[in-house]
Amino acid sequence: MNSATPKEARRAVVQLTVLRILVYAILIFLSILCLFSFVMLFINASRSNGQLQAGFTLIPGGHMLENFRNAWTDSSINIPRGLLNSFIVAACTAVLTTYFSALTAYGFQAYDFKGKKFLFGFIMAIMVIPTQVSASGFVQICYKFGLTNNYWVLILPGVAAPIVFFYIKQYMESNLPMEIVDAARVDGCGEFRTFNFIILPMLKPALAVQLIFSFVQSWNNYFLPSLLLTKAEMKTVPIMIAQLRSADYSKFDMGKVYMFILLAILPVLVVYILLSKSIIRGVTAGSVKG
């Protein structure tokens, strides 16, 4: 078998280098596209209304603190209360959705019972039903029994999340050795103790991902809150942003508006950064410790 000549070897190295440079260039370009809107949001949040009316620029202004003070103390929109409402709903929904979806997935993975395939298919069928289809009856029930303007009417419907259940079940099928469950049963460990102290730590990467997605989805949810929240002190951030769109544009302080949007996305970014570290730590540390 003939070996490659030095000229062919150099050509292969050059081609590989060019390909690598091209791949990095594409990745850098896509990263700039993804981050550009965030950078512009920070820049615009630091500019005054007059500066924003003057046109586009990449130079930050010096009005960040002023815009923050104006947005935070706005009498027409209670931003601190809106952020608190959104955080309570989103955090509770994310935690409960992820936990009970993992518990359901564990039940399907660890047990064989009658109707298992039918129930799995039923859950998958629910996944393709739009939220608007089931929301009509749910909203009528909430108004009939006086359940509006309540955190729980927004949290509990989000707990039943077929997509989260399906993702965690697929993760279990490829990463959860059932021998560990059998060993725990032999040692006399109860089912809930096995799930909470053995299974959940092994699912940390999948749980972290679903916590992020569930939190962001609940944080950005506008449909149900707009139908069920009528009191100003209960409204969430998406409703407040929608109220800005209906305001008089001639009286707009655009610097304050951009600051409000920045404040609205900061909690999502913080949660993503924190849980991204958990994903990396969960993958590198391993799920079973000696």
Q: Is residue 119 part of a domain?
A: yes
pLDDT, tens digit, for every residue of 223-263?
A: 889 889 988 889 999 888 887 766 655 567 788 888 888 88
Q: Are 108 and 169 in contact (CB under 8 A)?
A: yes
Alpha-carbon radius of gyration of the chain: 25
Please tell me the least confidently modeled range out of 23-27, 34-38, 73-77, 116-120: 73-77
User: Residue 274: which of 27, 91, 103 has the closest Cα?
Assistant: 91
Q: Are 135 and 223 in contact (CB under 8 A)?
A: yes
Query: Over 90: is that where the pLDDT of 103 sits?
Result: yes
pLDDT, tens digit, for every residue of 44-61?
A: 999 988 888 888 888 888
Phi-psi region of 211 (alpha: psi -120 to 50; beta: other; left: phi over 0): alpha
Q: Is residue 93 part of a domain?
A: yes
Q: Do 143 and 176 belong together in one domain? A: yes
Q: Are 169 and 105 in contact (CB under 8 A)?
A: yes
Q: What pLDDT, on the 0 to 100 scale, is given for residue 84?
A: 93
Q: Do 18 and 153 belong together in one domain? A: no
Q: Is residue 267 part of a domain?
A: yes
- Residue 211 to residues 55, 107, 135, 224: CA-CA distances in angstroms? 39, 20, 23, 20
Q: Do 265 and 162 belong together in one domain? A: yes
Q: Is residue 167 part of a domain?
A: yes
Confidence band, pLDDT 50/70/90 cuts, at residue 284: very low
Q: Is residue 55 part of a domain?
A: no
pLDDT, tens digit, for every residue of 105-134?
A: 999 988 888 888 899 999 888 888 877 777
Averaged pLDDT, 196-206: 88
Q: What pLDDT, on the 0 to 100 scale, is given for residue 24?
A: 94
Confidence band, pLDDT 50/70/90 cuts, at residue 26: very high
Q: Do 166 and 216 belong together in one domain? A: yes
- One-letter amino acid identity for 234? M
Helices and strands, number each (H, E), in the chain: 15, 0
Q: Are 82 and 235 in contact (CB under 8 A)?
A: yes
Q: Do 17 and 112 belong together in one domain? A: no
Q: Is residue 276 part of a domain?
A: yes
Distance CA 75, CA 83 (A): 15
Mean pLDDT of the chain, nearest integer: 84
* Percent of the chain with pLDDT strictly greater than 90: 19
Q: What pLDDT, on the 0 to 100 scale, is given for residue 282?
A: 45
Q: Is residue 58 part of a domain?
A: no
Q: How many domains does the chain have?
A: 2
